[in-house]
Chain A
């Protein structure tokens, strides 16, 4: 991909007009005038010391104006916890914490960061924000809300973050992986980004209506995710103060208007193995590669066999030419015989199958010459009808003939499932019976044996709508190009030779074993029940996109071509006017904007808010950046460093700004209440996934398996019953056994009309539309969940059990529990307060006989003996208290 040259030039040169606000100019100056802090070519990216210093200088410059001093550096355990949560979404383990605190080397923190960036949790944690933008869910949405296999795309995202795929490449593959030259299966999976759009298979919907809704959703998600631009206001009409016109909206929509998906169905999909099938699948691939190498063998003995065969075939060809086929007439047709349904037309025996009499009427119709198009295809009329086709041929000597039936009315109707019913009789005997809509598609060419004298061919086609078919009878077993290759001998073209070679290998005895092996492999491959991941596929003929009057899909207006808004950098003529061009434009000419949007979101991930705190709106209505020059610097740096997200994380966490203590002083509270000036370190509530993962990890329960279908941890009964489609669905919430139920939060099954309740309570979005930022509320219903939800209670049970094991020294156990949750040693006062709770809890459990045992079981813990059950119960309650502390639930 020719990316670096283009994007860097764009960053430097093409800043004007990127942002419709004054800071665009500041941005231009900032990047153009500041000396580059980029490391020299070839220097490793992980030593951005001077760049981090630049970040700090820009922050200090603003802060100085306010009269505030930067906060001191946070203590080491806080820093490690902050980095662990920010990069992997998991708190440090005690071992990691102790090792880090004991490491006095000046590079200790850098090494810890590198470890975190390479740990498997990194990709998973980074993916979560992207899943919100991409509106990822496990069901289709709307009324029926049926399941879909979207997870292969989710796994692709995790893997891309883990491998630090450059963000520009990440962009191009997701928006247009299918349009890349020779796309890999992974490139197709990547396009699932936009197949996350909802689809409506509610009864009585007009597919076109919801296809248009999906296109608009893709416009919205693309514009917000890459450009922090809200375009949807422009879909109905122009607005006087808006730089984007309605026409521009539909030009942008035209990029997304020519995909095959129809708004009501999951197709097209790509088959994809489950994680447990992956190994077996790869083994099949390896075996197949070996067999294919053997099949392509081309040594002296093979060549000799081939030329012997060619000579024999030429003899047969010559014999045929001496005794040509004599057709009695052209194709005769009886029909269309209409029943209203293709299936019933197919199953009804109208008569000719018992023997054809061309002079006899059937069902009131007579045989007539079939209507033929200029290039010889047969036109069959009628809806829900059958047509019989008949032809007789005479020959002197017995020999083979090849019958081939194919559609002649365009590839769009050629998909499996749409083929008409086909029945063929040869000399009165049935040779083919394929029902309407057969999944196998059009039949393979079929050999027929001619007998001396008259031969009769009868074909019955049962179709839902008028069709144009090609029914060919080729003399001999050879397809046209093979026959031509044989006839021409040494004068054959390259293509004809290849066809001849392929034909021979498919039949030669020399390859019989290899062919059988390949066929067996194919059957084994088909025996896997694979997932079907929805992907984008471009139509051969693009749709004509029209402006929709008032956004109404039933009121199409002027035709528009794909294009980007004029207020953004120009779309170069050399880029194709399709999704691939759009993707390249986003990371090319529009890179200054795109890079700002991305670095702003990553900054927000660390600080709880972006430098522009409307992360999906950089337009006039969005808020002004707190540090415009810093945003510009980071964006330029990011692009120059090959769009490496990991490098950007390193840069940020090594800055003194990020490493500041996050306590809020009275002075800061007065002068910088929301930390817009970055006068202190970050502090905010962690999101649902992190709350869950943190609890499971401290409990020692977290099951770290990357990828695969989503899982169903315990949820209260009756949740899916709120969803209408529930009643029509065979699928039910099936609580996963351990350890699958203890997988990370991002793998929890998300049903759009009935989201996982704790996910929803902690502001998990509904994943119906693109969301750039979750709210971070604190509510009583969340507290109730933290106390009583089975999943959280299991975590408390696990942690309680760990602490109970240390009960000989309760003070030490309390300290360890506190460190597991907060990474911090409790103060003596805090320690004593927890010990006091332990005592009073033990007392309360003891006061109600049997309560301790019952409570332990509620928390998923087996009770050792009655005597210690009250103790274990008390420890579980202490553990739960630790897990619900505000400090535990904060990234600070």
Chain B
């Protein structure tokens, strides 16, 4: 491990039980924390794990969640100038040449609170009263990669750790045979590649481990063809004996970490395939998620996410791409592709909330659903059926959150009549991150890491815990 004084093994208890002769100290170094930024948690944690359902490319909130009768009524008209003032859109410039686009799909009210929901999301009807709705989120940047970085790391520029990495570093692991920060991808790839789960200036072991859809779930997990398990075990034992013997001579503490790492690697060769084998789930659960064992899909990933948090995974990040619907004849066509994307994620996302709830896990797990920004009320692309699209919009977008203290069925924030920007209950992505940390027992202002001479926070110099979201 890194031998810097600021990165000592800490006093924090590690829940793992050592197996295969895993030394106590080595175990703490391996599974636990390097550096002790501030005693965390700062207060009693309300939740243990987070599952983030990342809709990469920015889904259209106006066609899924936001009911705007005025927008529908003024379809094809020029947007009110005062709403556009000072805004710069990625493709529509200052927006003055653009016209408003009514949502092509009907919405209806569902649940006890009469939540408006697009007909594109039928499974969501079952969870409308179980999740908290955020209608007036805002972010600072209007291009995909910078916005994803801002959402995940608190900065639109590269080099900072993502939320999952912060948690792995700060809170340590709950499981002794699985990574604490896992990424599950489906659909078109995420925009910034692995940058969305990087560890930034934190040691690289805190970066997210992507469980892959094809081939082996963890890179290099499977032994090469022909190597008997017993031979691997014999080699591991020899390596351990030789490293131990040398440790007695050199006193190098890193040798301990090396031995522990090898033993955990050996265990993961068993535990990870067991985790990813959905065949052990009962048929009704598989049906609930629409998951088929052996086939990676968003629904299967949602089920995997539940299995991960059950096993003590701290942060599960799902990425599902293909939401960048600018219009035109390509796969960026809103009219044909939004319904398809919605079908892909609707059932799994709803199932995850229902499944966690019935297993009593929702109280200690957060589930978030949303993209990196929103889409404009204005049309982008040709105004002809089947070619419609919407541009990027940073000033207002939607998300839902379930679990922890979040008030079920609450609607927070409203936007203007056309959905350009929030008029009350505006929540910045920094506020969102501050609130997530709060649920994990962490004061975002005191959760810092010193790098290049500066104390960095996930929320940079911003962020406010949005207590209004709690029930």
List A residues at the B interface (Cβ < 8 Å): 141-143, 145, 198, 200, 202-206, 213, 224, 230, 233, 554, 608-609, 613-614, 616-617, 619-622, 662-666, 668-669, 673-674, 683-685, 716-718, 721-724, 726-727, 752-755, 757, 760-763, 766, 768-769, 775-785, 787-789, 793, 827, 829-830, 833-834, 836-837, 840-841, 844-845, 847-848, 850-859, 873, 877, 880-881, 884-887, 889-890, 892
**Selected A-B contacts with CB under 8 Å, 7 pairs:** A620-B453, A722-B185, A726-B189, A753-B192, A845-B228, A885-B246, A887-B242
Which B residues lie within 8 Å of A856 (CB)?
226
Mask: chain B, 187-221; 1 = CB below 8 Å from A; 0 = not? 01111111100100001110101101111101111
Residue contact B1 to A877, C-beta cutoff 8 Å = no
Give every chain B residue within 8 A of A674 (Cβ-Cβ).
Answer: 3-5
- Chain A residues positioned under 8 Å from B219 (CB to CB): 716, 757, 761, 781, 784-785
Partner of B212, one of A669, A718, A886: A718
* Alpha-carbon separation in the docked complex, A684 to B4 (Å): 11
Partner-contacting stretch, out of B68-76, B232-240, B302-310, B430-438? B232-240
The one of A200, A793, A833 in contact with B224, judged by C-beta atoms closer than 8 angstroms, is A793
**Which A residues are CB-close (under 8 A) to B190?**
722, 724
Contact in complex: B452, A716 (CB < 8 Å): no
Contact A718 B214 (CB under 8 A): yes
Q: Assess the B195–A890 pair: CB atoms within 8 A.
A: no
Report chain A residues within 8 Å CB of B242. Answer: 830, 833-834, 881, 885, 887
Instruction: Assess whether B416 is interfacial by the CB under 8 Å rule.
Output: no
Q: How far is the CA of A674 from the CA of B227 in the complex (A)?
A: 39
Q: Which of A617, A754, A836 contacts B238 (CB 8 A)?
A: A836
CB neighbours (8 Å) of B237 from chain A are 837
For the A-B complex with A718-B212, A755-B194, A784-B219 known, give 8 more contacts whose Cβ atoms are closer than 8 Å: A668-B251, A674-B3, A717-B214, A778-B1, A780-B268, A784-B218, A887-B242, A890-B254
CB A828 to nearest CB in B, in angstroms, measures 12
Q: For B5, list chain A residues within 8 Å (CB).
A: 673-674
The smallest C-beta distance from B265 to any residue of chain A, in angstroms, reads 4
Contact of A723 among B193, B213, B252, B255 (CB under 8 A): B193
Select one of A206, A663, A716, A884 contacting B251, CB under 8 A: A663
Given that A717-B215, A775-B2 are contacting pairs, would A881 and B194 also be in contact in the complex, using a CB cutoff of 8 Å?
no
In the complex, which of the residues B89, B215, B228 has the most CB atoms of chain A within 10 Å of its own CB atom? B228
Are the CB atoms of B193 and A779 closer together than 8 Å? Answer: no
Instruction: Report the minimum CB–CB distance from B128 to chain A (whole Å).
Output: 32
Asked whether A145 lies within 8 Å of B193 as measured between CB atoms, the reply is yes
Is B252 touching A198 in the complex (CB atoms < 8 A)?
no
Known: A203-B91, A684-B3. A718 touches B215 (CB 8 A): yes
Does residue B264 face the partner (Cβ distance < 8 Å to A)? yes
List chain B residues, Cβ under 8 A from A668: 251
Q: Is the Cβ of B251 less than 8 Å from the Cβ of A665?
A: yes
- Given A141-B158, A204-B90: A784 and B268 within 8 A (CB)? yes
B91–A855 touching, CB < 8 Å: no
* Contact of A200 with B212 in the complex, beta carbons under 8 Å: no
B185: chain A residues at CB < 8 Å are 722
Assess A787 versus B250: contact at CB under 8 Å? Given A620-B453, A621-B453, A841-B231.
no
Q: A886 to B221, alpha carbons, bound, how many Å?
A: 20
Task: Given A622-B453, A859-B224, verify A766-B234 contact (CB < 8 Å).
Answer: no
Partner of A663, one of B214, B250, B262, B391: B250
Chain A residues with Cβ below 8 Å from B23 are none
Number of cross-chain contacts by CB at 8 Å: 271
Is there contact, CB below 8 Å, between A754 and B252?
no
A854 and B3 in contact (CB under 8 A), knowing A142-B192, A666-B251, A886-B246? no
Q: Is the CB of B224 within 8 A of A858?
A: yes
B203 touches A202 (CB 8 A): no
Q: Output the least CB separation between B304 and chain A (Å).
A: 17
B145 is contacted by which of A202, A206, A554 (Cβ under 8 Å)?
A: A202
Structural contact, B235 and A722, CB atoms closer than 8 A: no
| Interchain CA distance A236-B66 in the complex, whole Å | 35
Complex CA distance for A780 and B252, rounded to whole angstroms: 18
A724→B220 contact, CB < 8 A: no
Q: Is B99 among interface residues, defined by CB-CB distance under 8 A?
A: no
In chain B, residues 228-280, which have Cβ atoms closer than 8 Å to a Cβ of chain A?
228, 230-232, 234-235, 237-239, 241-243, 245-247, 249-255, 257-259, 261-262, 264-265, 268-269
B76-92 CB contact bits vs A (8 Å, 1 = yes)? Answer: 00000000000011110
Name the one of A727, A757, A788 contacting B188, with C-beta atoms under 8 angstroms.
Answer: A727
Question: B392 at interface (Cβ–Cβ under 8 A)?
Answer: yes
B144 in contact (CB, < 8 A): yes
Whether B221 pairs with A788 at a CB distance below 8 angstroms is: yes
Considering the complex, give the chain A residue whose CB is closest to the CB of B29. A778
Contact B225 A855, beta carbon cutoff 8 Å = yes
Give the CA-CA distance A663 to B246 in the complex, in Å: 10
Q: Are B224 and A788 in contact (CB under 8 A)?
A: yes
Among A200, A780, A827, A830, residue most surrounded by chain B Cβ atoms (within 10 Å): A780
User: Once the chains bind, are A781 and B145 in contact (CB under 8 Å)?
Assistant: no
Across the interface, do B204 and A775 meet the contact criterion of CB distance under 8 Å?
A: yes
- CB contact under 8 A between A783 and B261, given known A766-B158, A847-B228, A886-B254: yes
Closest residue to A216 on the B side, CB-wise?
B157
Query: How far is it, in angstroms, between the C-alpha of A622 and the C-alpha of B222 when the chains are bound?
Result: 43
A200-B143, A204-B143, A763-B204 as given contacts; A851 in contact with B228, CB under 8 Å: yes
Collect the chain B residues with CB atoms within 8 Å of residue A892's CB. 250, 252
Contact A664–B251 (Cβ < 8 Å): yes
Q: Determine the distance from Cα of A128 to Cα of B220 in the docked complex, in whole angstroms.
A: 25
A617 to B204, CA, bound (A): 20
Q: Is the CB of A662 within 8 A of B204?
A: no
**A721 and B189 within 8 A (CB):** yes
Q: Which residues of A contact B158 (CB under 8 A)?
A: 141, 198, 766, 768-769
| A753-B195 contact, Cβ under 8 Å, with A213-B157, A784-B265 | yes
Expressed in whole angstroms, the minimum distance between the Cβ of A813 and any Cβ of chain B is: 15
Are A230 and B454 in contact, with the CB atoms below 8 A? yes
Question: What 1/0 flags go to B30-51 for Cβ under 8 Å of A?
Answer: 1000000000000000000000
Central interface residue in B189, B224, B264, by most chain A CB within 10 Å: B224
Closest 10 CB pairs of A and B: A854-B226, A753-B193, A204-B90, A855-B226, A621-B453, A664-B251, A858-B224, A617-B453, A768-B158, A783-B265
Do residues B1 and A722 form an inter-chain contact, with CB atoms below 8 A?
A: no
Q: Residue of B at shortest CB range from A683?
A: B252
* Distance from B222 Cβ to chain A, minimum over Cβ atoms (Å): 7
Are B250 and A683 touching (Cβ within 8 A)?
A: yes
Q: A142-B192, A780-B268 are in contact. Are A851 and B227 (CB under 8 A)?
A: yes
CA of A213 to CA of B185, assembled, Å: 29
The A-contacting residues of B in range 412-471, CB under 8 angstroms, are 450, 452-454
Check if B90 sits within 8 Å of A203, measured CB to CB: yes
B223 within 8 A of A: yes
Q: Using CB atoms, name the residue of chain B closest to A614.
A: B453
The CA-CA distance from A787 to B215 in the complex, in Å, is 17
Bound-state CA distance A722–B238 (Å) is 37
Residue B159 at the chain A interface, CB threshold 8 Å? yes
Check if A777 sits within 8 Å of B221, measured CB to CB: no
- Is A854 touching B143 in the complex (CB atoms < 8 A)? no
Q: Are B250 and A662 in contact (CB under 8 A)?
A: yes
Any A CB within 8 A of the CB of B389: no
Shortest beta-carbon distance from A321 to chain B in Å? 58
Q: Which residues from chain B contact A616 at a C-beta distance below 8 Å?
A: 452
Q: How far is the CA of A724 from the CA of B190 in the complex (A)?
A: 6
What's the least CB distance linking A388 to chain B, in Å? 31
Residues from chain A with Cβ under 8 Å of B243 in the complex: 885-887
Nearest CB on B from A124, distance (A): 23
Which A-chain residue is minimally distant from B56 (CB atoms)? A724
Q: Assess the B2–A777 pair: CB atoms within 8 A.
A: yes
Expressed in whole angstroms, the minimum distance between the Cβ of B45 and any Cβ of chain A is 26
CA distance A6 to B255 in the complex (A): 48
Which residues of chain B are near A784, meaning CB under 8 Å? Answer: 218-221, 265, 268-269
Contacts of B251 in A (CB 8 A): 663-666, 668-669
Give Cα A845–Cα B3 distance, bound, in whole angstroms. Answer: 39
